[in-house]
Every structure is written in C-alpha cells, then in structure tokens.
Chain A
Amino acid sequence: MGTIKIRGVLAVIFAALMLAGCASTETEEPETEVAPQPEPTQTQTREPPEPEEPKQRVERGKLVIDLPGEDGTEELEGVVYFDFDQAIVKRGFHEELAKHADFLTDNRGQQVRLEGHADERGTREYNLALGERRANAVRAYLVAQGVSGMQIDVISYGEERPAVGGHNEAAWAKNRRVEIEYTR
C-alpha cells in the first residue's frame, strides 16, 4: 500500500504524537479510533462492529455523502469554475475537491471523468486546449491529494457544450468549468 493520501499521513503523524512511544510507521494499518476526522474513512478497519452503510456513494455520476445524524445527504455539485483564460483551481473549490479525493483514495476501483469546458469567447480549438488545461489542473489537485492518475480520465469539450445559453458574463462564468463525473 504505497499510496497514502496527505490527510491520512497527517492523521497518522498526529496520532503518533498523541501516543508518544507507540512506534508505528506510515505504511502500517492506521490506528483505529484515534484522532477523529471530519470525514472518517474507516474502510480499512479490521473489525467493524457491523457492516456499515457506505457514507459516500455514487449516484447518477455524482458523489453523494451522508451527513452526520439525521441531516440527510449532500450531493456534491461536482463542478469547478474558472476565471477567463485561467486554469487555476480557486481556493473556494478546495473543500469539495478534498471530499472527492477522499472518496477516490478510499475506492481505488472508482473511475472519474474530468470534463473541461470554456466559455464561447475566443477560438474553438484554443478553447478545447483551455478546457483540457482546466481539467488537468483539477486532475493535478486530486493527484496531489493522493488519488491515482489511473483513476482519472481527462477530456475537453472546449466551448462546444455550454452549461447555460446566453452571451453575457453571467452565462460565461457558468460555462468556464470542469465537471466531475463518476463513471464506474
């Protein structure tokens, strides 16, 4: 198990500090029930009390997360928006991307398709390249979080498939995007 996501690593280090003296290495089983995390990923727990319902699952290509308690579920929008002619993943999307990364690192067999898009301004082929650059930026973000590149498929539609019609800034802002689609 050579791949460990950064959050997991931090959790292990934190746990190691708390239990000073307990000599664990990063490649061992994570120490259970230590350092509670906001998004617990306990799929590797050896003796689960009973088979739990998965807290995260894929529905119609989207990631759905059960909220704690009786608060129902949260369906992640799965869309990252960009500034004009830019491919920088803005800070506001880091939290959602971390949730996708968690799910993908916990489910190595899960594939995801990143669809890059551009707004209608500028030329079509340049926009195809720009859409790919955006999708690659999201891919790089997920890979840095521990997701395997093998799980990610990048494709660009350029300006060919706008999310909304219209020829104004409001429409363009919605069309400069990367859509995260879970495929299998």
Chain B
Amino acid sequence: MAELTIEVTQGVDNAVRIAVVPFDWRGRNALPENVDQITSADLTMSGRFETLPVKQMLSLPNESDEILFRDWRLLDVSYVVIGYMEPLDYGIRLHFELHDVFKQSMILSQTIEGGPNDLRDMAHYVSDVVFEELTGIEGAFSTRIMYVTSTGGVENPRSQLNIADADGHRVDTILRSSEPILSAAWGPKGDRIAYVSFEKDRRPAIYLRNLKDGTQQQLTNYKGLNGAPSFSPDGDRLAMVLSKDGNPDIYVLDLQTRRLRRITRHYAIDTEPSWTPDGESIIFTSDRGGQPQIYKIRLEDFQIERLTFEGDYNAKATVLPDGSGLVMVHRRNGTFHIAFLDLRRGRTTILTETSLDESPSIAPNGSMLIYATQVDDQGILAGVSIDGSVKYQLPSTEGDVREPAWSPGKRKNFEPVLR
C-alpha cells in the first residue's frame, strides 16, 4: 500500500521545544503501535513544535513525581508530555499529562480508554489536546485526507480513491478504476462522500457513497459534464456542475427530494461550486468575464457578485470556516499557486512556492490547507498554514497523488474518563 510520509519543509521561526517521554506500557504483550512516537511525530509535523529525540532525554518519567524539571531546563525544553498505559479487559487505558518546565507545574492531565485497534487514534487525540492547549488552535491530527492516486502513466492509467489519516498512515482504498476518478468531496459529517467517475460507459457521473457500509448510488447521468460535487453545510443538498442544458452551469440537487435546481444561467463556463459556511450562497469559478475568476451567488435571489480582481486566473475557491477569506488557485507570472484572499481587506497573498499547484482543501480548524503540486516530476500533496508560516510535503512511495480533500471531522473521538 502506497503510504504518504510527512516532511516539514518550513516551520515557524520560534518553534516551541517540547519532549514527549515514552509512555510506560504496564501490560504483558508488546503494543502494535508506539503511541508517544506518533504524538511526537504529529507535533513535529505541525511545524510549530520542535520535539526532543528520546535519545537526548536525561530521564524518562511516567508520573508527575518522577519529573526532574532541572533535567528539562538543561535541555532547553519548555514543555514535557508524560504518560502510561494499562490493559483493560478489552482495550487500553491511557493516562497522560502536560507539564510546564519553567513554571514547574502541571498544565493538564487526562485519561482516555480505547479498543485494541484504537492506539493511533489515541495518540492523535493526545496530539490534539496538547496542540490546542499550547497554541489555542484546534488540532487536526485526528482528521483524515481523501485523495486520488494515479499509476501507470500515459500508457496504462489506473486511478485509486484513497482515504488516509492526516499523517498519511492507515491508507484505505475506496475505489479502483482504469477510468478517471476525480472531485471527491466529503459530506459534512464525514460519513459519506460524493465523487465523479468515468467507470460507467466511459462517461462522467456523480456517485454518492456511504463510507460506513460501502454502499453507493449513481446520482446523475446527464449528457455532458457531471462534475464538481459539493455538499451543503447541512448535508441535505449537493451543488454540482452539469452541461446538459448546453454549457456548464451550477445546479443544486436536493438529496432527499431529488429535485434539481438550476442556479446559474450563463453561456460561459461556470464550475467548481463551494458553499459559504452559512449555506446561503455558493461561490464558483466562471470565465464570464473572459478569464476564470471567482464569483458568489446568493441562493435566495440569485444575486451575483465577483470576488476576485487580482490576476488573470483564479479558480477552485473554498471559503474558510469563519468566512473571513478564501483559498484558491491563482496564476501569477504564468505559474499556478495557492493563494489566500482576505475578504475583509481584499488582499491576495500567495501561500505556496511550488508550481502547478491545485485543489486546495482547508482543514476543519481553518488554520492549515492541503493541496496538490508537482515536485521532481511526481504529483504529491503538500500542506501550508493559512498564515504561510508552516509548510510540509507528503511524498508518496508510489504513483502521482492529487486532489486532496480534508475530512470535516475526527476519525475517532474520546471522552476523558474520570478517575
């Protein structure tokens, strides 16, 4: 299975030094996953932390009273995460604590319980809690990424739709085809997806798939384009592009009543619909002005507003969860980058230095985005924080990877238990 690995290419200047001490396992058989190392890797990958290698640690405390703060001050470490795990009848209990080295005090302590296959989820949970406590930003380590992998080159192209953890592990292949698969989108609860596939009669159609039971249904079968599905924030409707009436326009399908409503009506290309967080408008790409630019249409009265004016190619925009701005594909000096448009100030900032950048997808916490790019002749995924300070790449061991879609929620959540 082609796994992705994370390589941080740029972290923040003043990364916080933290140590995740190996968690003591008080059970008999060795555990299949190394929880503390997964947490440590998560924090490193965020670009906001510098994690101390275990080899450099002077002591390995597991409980509060074992911490010698002097040791950690000597190593210039600001925070220490400690913990231990105990076997349950069916599963594992994890207790972890976060300590402030300079204040010599405990910041938080929690205990969670999980099943025997939940170790990675438990590690990501620890990462999320620590990250949010120290940065004020909700962690995204428990989320997932959906993406398309293509192999076989021009001669024998094969496509796969995959879902992996945000750190690239636990790849699950949803679909394989010799025909294109593209534009996969998450439902707001993360339990279903919509995607476009040419698998039937070499024609594009939009499919809806339930991830829990693997059932799927074909939603559209119109002449021409059937593309760019996007779930409304409430999950009841699906925006899409159809060209059945002569040229590509935006439509909204009510997933309950199956009623189809035409939203745009223009002889130009209208495509790549994406909902505003309030569900009242749709932003889309249109070349009605001669070149692709971003527009917004209000569903109540179909009032259209152009949002982008800088540059001659702006496409595939997504609004941030707080509505303050949008990310999009932006061409400058002939090169395609991912850019952030601050809707309040009207300013466009380029976030990426790579080229042929496309398909930006925002993390549910609104602070990171993942996109597809081309590095050394290979299509790979890369991440960048919305403020541009953190950058990472996810090279794949196999094939070209593209069209990432960040899941809306966590793969698994844990309720801290009281002890």
Binding site for B on A (CB under 8 A): 85, 120-126, 128-130, 132-133, 154-157, 160-165, 167
Closest chain A residue to B284, Cβ basis? A125
Contact B359 A132 (CB under 8 A): no
- Give how many B residues have a beta carbon under 8 Å from the other chain's beta carbons: 37
Stretch at the interface among B16-24, B32-40, B222-230: B222-230
Task: Evaluate whether A128 and B227 lie within 8 angstroms (CB atoms) in the complex, with A122-B315, A122-B336, A123-B285 already known.
Answer: yes
Contact, CB under 8 Å: A123 / B356: no
B180 and A157 contacting across the interface, CB-CB below 8 Å: yes
The reply to whether A125 and B336 contact each other, CB–CB distance below 8 Å, is: no
Q: Is the CB of A124 within 8 A of B154?
A: no
Q: A157-B180, A167-B377 are contacts. A124–B225 as well, Cβ < 8 Å?
A: no
**CB distance B224 to A123 under 8 Å?**
no
Task: List 11 A-B residue pairs with CB atoms under 8 Å apart, sorted by A's residue number.
Answer: A122-B313, A122-B358, A126-B287, A128-B204, A129-B248, A130-B269, A132-B224, A132-B243, A155-B202, A156-B225, A160-B180
> Given the known A-B contacts A132-B224, A133-B269, are A124 and B292 also in contact in the complex, defined by CB atoms under 8 Å?
no
Contact check, B315 vs A123: say whether CB atoms are below 8 A apart: yes
B residues at A contact (CB < 8 Å): 153-154, 157, 180, 182-183, 198, 202-204, 224-225, 227-228, 241, 243, 247-248, 269, 271-272, 285, 287, 291-292, 313, 315-316, 329, 331, 336, 356, 358-359, 374, 377, 403
Can you name the residue of chain A whose Cβ is closest to the Cβ of B272?
A: A125
Which residues from A are CB-within-8-Å of B183? 124-125
Q: Which 10 A-B pairs have the closest CB atoms?
A: A160-B180, A129-B269, A123-B316, A123-B315, A125-B228, A129-B248, A125-B271, A125-B272, A129-B271, A165-B154
CB contact under 8 A between A154 and B224, given known A123-B316, A125-B183, A167-B377: yes
Residues from chain B with a CB closer than 8 A to the CB of A124 are 182-183, 358-359, 403
- What is the minimal beta-carbon distance from B364 to any residue of chain A, in angstroms? 22
CA distance A133 to B271 in the complex (A): 13
Given contacts A126-B287, A155-B202, 18 further A-B contacts (CB under 8 A): A121-B356, A122-B313, A122-B315, A122-B336, A123-B272, A123-B359, A124-B358, A124-B403, A125-B182, A126-B316, A128-B204, A129-B241, A130-B269, A132-B248, A133-B247, A157-B198, A160-B198, A167-B356
Q: Which residues of A contact B224 (CB under 8 A)?
A: 132, 154
Knowing A121-B336, A132-B225, A165-B153, the reply to whether A126 touches B272 (Cβ < 8 A) is: yes
A75 to B287, alpha carbons, bound, how many Å?
Answer: 37
In the assembled complex, how far is the CB of residue B295 from the closest CB belonging to chain A, in whole angstroms? 13
Q: Are A123 and B358 in contact (CB under 8 A)?
A: yes
* A11 CA to B359 CA, complexed, in Å: 53
A160:B269 contact, CB within 8 angstroms: no
A126 to B331, CA, bound (A): 14
